[in-house]
Amino acid sequence: DNPMVLLGGMNVLESRDLAMRIAEHYVDVTGRLGIPYVFKASFDKANRSSLHSYRGPGLEAGLKILQEIKQTFNVPVITDVHEPHQAAPAAEVCDIIQLPAFLSRQTDLVQAMAQTGAVINIKKAQFLAPQEMQHILHKCEEAGNHQLMLCERGTSFGYNNLVVDMLGFTIMKAFGYPVIFDATHALQMPGGRADSADGRRAMAAQLARAGLSQGIAGLFLEAHPDPNQAKCDGPCALPLSKLEAYLQQMKAVDDLIKSLPELDTGS
């Protein structure tokens, strides 16, 4: 029941300067609010809808930017990896490496990541029930890694829509690892635009509040100074200018929830 942490940043790395600017803003805001903070950005978007979509700077250049952010702002960093060979280099720079949702059952990737010794953030696939996440935890544990976290980001609900099953948080918390909520990807409407996903940015605060009402370890969040110009997932991104007001709300919710006594209603 520690106060919420924030894994926050941007979707895909665009320029080095933009990443620095975004990181600086997150560091300032979370510092003022006393929220433990990890900077997040992707070096590659490996599963865009279209070949013509922007993918990112790639592993080497991306890790260089993450390294600079880590050193400049003295914050831990997280990035996602997509193939087993990326796990070790990513873990050299990053404190947390992330298993993407669509890839969360790929055993070789899970093992390569677990063996780095880095903390692993396991995104829950859109096609998995909360109970099934224990299998992925077991894979990591058997590879010798117990520094694990689970991250909810929505479940397939018919076509082109996601729904967040709030009861899933309680089920996953029972596995004994921190559970966080990716409150911006969960806004996605997959395949909702002609050649990319759509999103419901206007409800970013509502959905995050619901997740935090479940007494979870923290939030995962992506923001952008101009979401309409973001190179990936802009329809889900929080406008960076709203970050402080947004996090104030979320911290207030988290603080309250964690002050409430446990209530056994099951017997």
Catalytic positions, written as ranges: 11, 45, 233
Per-residue x/- track, 71-110, a second copy (CB under 8 A): -----------xxx-----------------xx-xxxx--
Q: Retrieve residue 150's tokens.
A: 């689970």
End-to-end CA distance of the chain: 23
Separation between Cα atoms, residue 30 and residue 201, nearest integer Å: 21
Question: 59-73 and 16-33 helices cross at what angle (nearest 10)?
Answer: 40
Give φ, ψ of 249 to 5 degrees: -60, -50
Among residue numbers 118 through 157, which ones bind a second copy (CB under 8 A)? 125-129, 131-132, 135, 138-139, 142-143, 155-157
List 27, 46, 68, 89, residue binding a second copy (CB under 8 A): 46
Identity of the residue, 111 or 147, whose beta carbon is nearer to a second copy in the bound complex: 111
Identity of the residue, 20 or 205, whose beta carbon is nearer to a second copy in the bound complex: 205
Q: Retrieve residue 111's tokens.
A: 């093992």
Cβ of residue 123: shortest distance to a second copy, in angstroms? Answer: 13
Among residue numbers 206 through 265, which ones bind a second copy (CB under 8 A)? 206-207, 209-210, 212-215, 238-239, 242, 245-246, 249, 252-253, 256-257, 260-261, 263-265
**Are the beta carbons of 153 and 205 closer than 8 angstroms?**
no
| Size of the residue set binding a second copy (CB under 8 A) | 77
**Residue (of 139, 146, 94, 137) closest to 112 by Cα position:** 139
Identity of the residue, 75 or 204, whose beta carbon is nearer to a second copy in the bound complex: 204
Tell me which DSSP letter residue 46 carries.
T
Cβ of residue 70: shortest distance to a second copy, in angstroms? Answer: 26
